[in-house]
Amino acid sequence: MTEVTLSKVVKKYGQHQAVHGIDLDIQDGEFVVLVGPSGCGKSTTLRMIAGLEDISGGDVTIGGRVVNDLPPRERNISMVFQNYALYPHMTVRENLGFSLKIAKRPEQEIVKAVDEAAGILGLDELMDRKPAALSGGQRQRVAMGRAIVRHPDVFLFDEPLSNLDAKLRTQMRVEIKKLHQKVESTIIYVTHDQVEAMTLADRIVLMRDGHIVQVGTPLELFNRPVDTFVATFIGSPPMNLVDGVVQGETIVLNGSISVPLPVTAGPLTNGQAVKFGFRADNLMPIGHAVEEEGAVHELDLSVTLTEPLGTETLLFTNLAGVEVQAKMFNPRPVTPGEQLQFRLMLDKCHVFDAKSGQAVRG
Amino acid sequence: MDRNQSHRNRRRVLKTLHLTALFLTMMIICIPGLWIVLNSFRPTVEIMAKPPVWVPSFTLDHYRAMFAGAGEGGVPVFSYFRNSLIVSVTSTLIAILIGMSGGYAFARYRFKGKNGYFVGLMLFRAVPGVALSLPLFIVFAKVGIIDTHFGLILAYVAMNVPFTIWLTDGFFRQIPKELHEAAEIDGCTRWQAFWQVEFPVARSGVASAAIFAFLTSWNEFALASQLTRSVGSKTMPVGLLDFTAEFTINWGGMCALAVLMIVPALILTFIVQKHLIAGLTFGGVKG
Amino acid sequence: MTRRRLPEWLVLLLPAIIVIAAVVLIPLLFSLYSSFTPYKLTRPSTLWKWVGTYNYEKILSDAKFWAAFGRTVLFLTIVLNVELLLGLGIALMMNKVTWGQRTLRTILMFPMMFSPILVGFQFKFIFNDNIGLVNNALQSMGFNVALPWLVDGKLAMFSIMFAEIWMSTSVFAILILAGLFAMPRDPLEAAKVDGCTPWQSFRHITLPFLMPFIYIAMTIRSLDVARAYDIVQIMTGGGPARRTELLWTLMSRTGYVDARMGLANAMGYVSILLSILFTIYFFRKLSAARAELGMAG
Ligand SMILES: Nc1ncnc2c1ncn2[C@@H]1O[C@H](COP(=O)(O)OP(=O)(O)O)[C@@H](O)[C@H]1O
Ligand SMILES: [Mg+2]
């Protein structure tokens, strides 16, 4: 069994503290994605799990064993690096078999394991090439192959797709997911791209400035963000946020428009400054909306800009002096300046405390 | 139409100038060396002839005399060649090992005062050989390693280490650190990761550093002329002096020894010439 | 449990530090000490007599020393500048060549393989007033002269510089050529479209890009400017009548011929300082040029 546990893990670079005592339990076979803006300490965390970075405080446990001071080779992990880190002087075959060769496994076993990995990733044609003669996507595959050859307890990925072009990235994302279903090992995956995090993860760990902000399934983070940071980081386009003040059963947005308090909102005091949040999907022009149950508030707004995406069109409008985005399903052409009537799905709206940014939820 | 014509003319003139200048440059580079080679095959009378003889005749006398060990001056060329070879090869190997380890430290570790250490090491290389030869002679004499291979090897190792550090530092820096990290995750110790991955990748850089170290030792004179005295330890650059007498110089014999000195350096350099240039530039520019 | 150990980087650097300390630092400290004594090789007891800065005062008030010092600085200045300009010229010419560039580059590396002492002998031979190639050629062309290349003071200085430049220009040419190869094409093409003359695009685009390469060459050269000693020692030995005396030949004469070690070591220190100044100067320039181009590591 290979759970990975971090408890109060700290990383300091001299004066600068990159990771502030994080706690995390990762189950056996789970696909966990560490996501967050660049510089938030994701790589550092991953590298501490790998044993490439010393741990300044706390404990890292892999499979019930504290590994704080073990070198990487004694942790039975494998890692895929952002720039692949293929050995340039070895052929693909040698790259794949290197770890087994170092472990002094018998020749036959190496050949078998390498061929198997090559088969899974479709590398058979490329076995005798050097990395320099491979395309970006092929290198990426070899890097993954090198990771799976050893049947490690834990796979670590550090932004493995960020050097690929958009199309290839989507394709490799699917392959990584398939790979996980096949090998059933624990995977810890670092990315700064929330789409990757949403599509791949069993559980997302959202980090910021060396702290964990929220841990949960992709839908939990999408539907119940704990604060405005999560709300704007997860989901595309980011959640609309409008300043407001609580007044009885309504929120007055920027002193002009008032909307009813969502029923989901938690205890609020009269006069409390809040941020009112909703996703573009929940502000739709009447006649072009997805029909849903629940409380609705209607608004007249004028469109300033449109972004047709095919199945839907993003509408930029102005709500109480703030630019917000709305979505038009089954779109028709809209000209800027056009006045439309929108329905706001109140049950899907969020209220955050203006000062702390924390969600206020019932 | 007219302007096109004049531009075309100008280009033709420039091209001619360019080729002429290039040709002259190459001549100036080549002729002195060729002159040495040529004269090593000419009889002494012809070298000394007045008025000059321009159509050379061919003789192997100088080589025969040189390899006979006696005869013309009786310069023990074999011993000198062997000394040069032993000293240069050994000191190069040791300097590369030591320099590589230092270069690796500069490329891979962060520590306080790194730049200071680096420039400090280079400054030791800048100490003129003549200025060092006096005190080194006295110290070596005290320790009793004057006139030995060991002494000269030691001196050349110290002389070559700084520059080797410079070059290998540049090369190791080219190698992303993820490479040894990947190797460590694949089960290597740091030591294995170096020899299995980083060293093979930096091989061409190490080769070029080795050539420079070798050429420096092979060609060095100021130190060798003081630290070696006898046939058992004198190197070829010092041996060249054997062809000079009080007022005369045996030009033919000297040219023959010169050829013997140049040929190994030439062969070695041509084998790795591609790496040589890469070594110099990567080591320096991207450092 | 935590035993204090040397940091890894220090362990890796230690062999280098030890060798250099043993072979360079200790003798230099010894010579620093002896430069404050009237040490003569022939009389070992003189090593224990402290004379303070006597030797330094003596050389600093010695016209011969100052002449040699000035000549050395002049020699280095001329030689390094000419080498740089020639190297730049050769590199630019080679860069334009469309055929046989590899061969030409190989030829260019030729002088780098020559021992300085060999270069000395080679040019002593070529500039020989009686049987040298130069005079023979001049005479065969009908000039009835035998120019005293190594005997006349000015001509001897010229011959020495010629030999030195022949030996060391390649370093500049090759490094600058490597810089030209590494140069991105876009800025040059953009400049052409913007209407720059060849000279303008060289001055404002090519040259700034080449600066780090030039400084590397300078730094590498500054590490062994003293190799010129070998050449001069062979070609003229500082003569005629000290007209080509450089710091290094003067020092070696003082030390080895006159056996006045203390005095020679004092001169040695001046020459070491000179070399170090050159090196530090170019190292600085190199770092600055790198930083400017964002190549710092
Ligand atoms: N070797 C290092 N020395 C000092 N600071 C570092 C080092 N590596 C990373 N950091 C700092 O630690 C923080 C987290 O870095 P990292 O984990 O790489 O972020 P990311 O989430 O983008 O992967 C950053 O502020 C970075 O500047
Ligand atoms: Mg990162």
User: What total number of domains does chain B contain?
Assistant: 2
3-class SS at C257?
A: helix
Task: For C136-160, write each residue's pLDDT tens digit.
Answer: 888 878 777 777 888 888 888 999 9
**Rounded CA separation B114/A253 (Å):** 58
CB-defined site of ligand 1, < 6 Å: A 13, 16, 18, 36, 38-44
Mean pLDDT score, C260-270: 85
CATH topology of domain A243-353: OB fold (Dihydrolipoamide Acetyltransferase, E2P) (2.40.50)
Domain boundaries, chain A: 4-233, 243-353
C63-292 CATH, one of 3.40.50.1370, 3.40.50.2300, 1.10.3720.10, 1.10.10.60: 1.10.3720.10
Write out chain B residues lying below 8 Å of C282, CB-based.
Answer: none
Gap from CA of C296 to ligand 1 centroid (Å): 19
Residues in chain A, total? 362
Task: For A126-172, write each residue's pLDDT tens digit.
Answer: 999 999 899 988 999 999 999 999 889 999 999 999 888 888 899 88
Under DSSP, the state recorded for A265 is B
Which residue range forms the structural domain that includes residue B35? 2-63
Report C:33-92 residues touching B (Cβ under 8 A): 34, 41, 89-90
Q: What is A4-233's CATH number?
A: 3.40.50.300
Compute the mean pLDDT over every residue in chain C, rounded to the nearest whole number.
85
Residue B1 has pLDDT above 80, yes or no: no
Gap from CA of A18 to ligand 1 centroid (Å): 6
Q: Say yes or no: B84 and B94 in one domain.
A: yes
Tell me how close the Cα of B114 comes to any Cα of chain C, in angstroms.
10
Tell me how close the Cα of B173 comes to any Cα of chain A, in angstroms.
14
Among candidate residues B148, B18, B34, B136, the one with its CA nearest the CA of residue B83? B148
Q: Say yes or no: B201 and B125 in one domain.
A: yes
Domain boundaries, chain C: 63-292
**Rounded CA separation B193/B190 (Å):** 5
**Rounded CA separation A286/C256 (Å):** 104
Write out chain B residues lying below 8 Å of C294, CB-based.
Answer: none
Report yes or no: A13 at the B interface, CB cutoff 8 Å: no
Torsion sign across C-alpha atoms A284, A287, A292, A297: positive
**Which residue in B175, B181, B186, B203 has the most chain A C-beta atoms within 10 A of its own C-beta, making it the best mutation to test that interface?**
B186
Residue nearest to atom 14 of ligand 1 (CA): A41
Residue nearest to atom 7 of ligand 1 (CA): A13
Q: Looking at chain B, which residue has its C-alpha nearest residue C252?
A: B130
Mean pLDDT score, A320-337: 91
Q: Say yes or no: B225 and B208 in one domain.
A: yes
Q: Say yes or no: B72 and B212 in one domain.
A: yes
Q: Say yes or no: B74 and B111 in one domain.
A: yes
Report yes or no: A52 at the B interface, CB cutoff 8 Å: yes
Chain B, chain C: beta-carbon pairs less than 8 Å apart: 268
pLDDT score, position B183: 94
Under DSSP, the state recorded for C243 is T
pLDDT score, position C1: 40
Those residues whose C-beta lies under 8 Å from the C-beta of residue C255, and which sit 6 or more positions away, are B134, C261, C263, C264, C265, C268
pLDDT score, position B69: 58
**Rounded CA separation A344/A282 (Å):** 6
Using CB atoms, which residue from A52, A83, A98 is nearest to B176? A83
Is A88 in contact with B178 (Cβ distance < 8 A)? no
SS3 content of chain C, % helix, strand, coil (to 5): 75, 0, 25
* Chains B and C touch each other (3 or more Cβ pairs < 8 A): yes
Chain B residues with CB under 8 Å of a chain A CB are 176, 178-179, 181-189, 192, 196-197, 200-201, 203
**Rounded CA separation C12/B281 (Å):** 24
Q: Say yes or no: B56 and B158 in one domain.
A: no
Task: For B188-198, write each residue's pLDDT tens digit.
Answer: 998 999 999 99
Residue C56 has pLDDT above 90, yes or no: no
Those residues whose C-beta lies under 8 Å from the C-beta of residue A214, and which sit 6 or more positions away, are A204, A205, A206, A221, A225, A226, A227, A230
Residue B286 has pLDDT above 60, yes or no: no
List Cα–Cα distances, A348 to A227, A296, A298, A317, A345, in angstroms.
Answer: 15, 10, 14, 19, 6
- Name the burial class of residue A178, with classes exposed (0-12), middle (13-18) and buried (19+) by CB atoms within 10 angstroms of its CB: exposed
pLDDT score, position B74: 67
* Chains A and C touch each other (3 or more Cβ pairs < 8 A): no
**Rounded CA separation A310/A232 (Å):** 24
Q: Which of B42, B63, B84 is the last residue of a domain?
A: B63
Structure tokens at B81: 């060649």
Q: Say yes or no: B88 and B204 in one domain.
A: yes
Q: Say yes or no: B6 and B96 in one domain.
A: no
Among candidate residues B284, B258, B281, the one with its CA nearest the CA of residue B34? B258
* Furthest-apart CA atoms within chain A: distance in Å: 76
Q: Say yes or no: B108 and B181 in one domain.
A: yes
Q: Which of B23, B40, B63 is the last residue of a domain?
A: B63
Q: Say yes or no: B171 and B195 in one domain.
A: yes
Using CB atoms, which residue from A52, A77, A87 is nearest to B179? A87
Residues in a beta bridge with A244: A253, A274
pLDDT score, position C3: 54
**Rounded CA separation B156/B161 (Å):** 8
Residue nearest to atom 10 of ligand 1 (CA): A18
Report yes or no: A350 at the B interface, CB cutoff 8 Å: no
Q: Which of B45, B63, B81 is the last residue of a domain?
A: B63
Using CB atoms, which residue from A82, A89, A99 is nearest to B186? A99
Name the CA radius of gyration of chain B, rounded. 24
Is C276 in contact with B281 (Cβ distance < 8 A)? no
3-class SS at C98?
A: coil
**Pairing relationship of beta strands A4-13 and A16-26 according to DSSP bridges:** antiparallel
Gap from CA of A10 to ligand 1 centroid (Å): 13
pLDDT score, position C2: 47
pLDDT score, position C4: 65
Its pTM stands at: 0.85
- The pair phi, psi for residue C148, each rounded to 5°, is -80, 70
Q: Say yes or no: B101 and B211 in one domain.
A: yes
Q: How many Cα atoms within 13 Å fall on the side-chain side of residue B285?
A: 22
Most confident of A212-216, B113-117, C135-139: A212-216
Structure tokens at B135: 């005190």
Taking the alpha carbons at both ends of chain A, their separation in whole angstroms is 38
Instruction: Please check whether residue A259 is in contact with residue A224, taking contact to mean a CB–CB distance below 8 angstroms.
Output: no
- Domain of B195: which CATH number? 1.10.3720.10
Instruction: Please check whether residue B250 is in contact with residue B73, taking contact to mean a CB–CB distance below 8 angstroms.
Output: yes
Q: Work out the angle at residue C246's Cα, subtended by the Cα atoms of residues C244 and C247, and round it to the nearest 5 degrees.
A: 160
pLDDT score, position C7: 86
Task: For C167-217, write each residue's pLDDT tens digit.
Answer: 999 889 988 988 888 888 888 888 888 888 888 888 888 888 888 888 888
**Rounded CA separation B99/B93 (Å):** 10
Report yes or no: C149 at the B interface, CB cutoff 8 Å: no
Those residues whose C-beta lies under 8 Å from the C-beta of residue C137, and which sit 6 or more positions away, are none
Task: For C76-87, write each residue's pLDDT tens digit.
Answer: 999 999 999 999
Q: Say yes or no: B156 and B169 in one domain.
A: yes
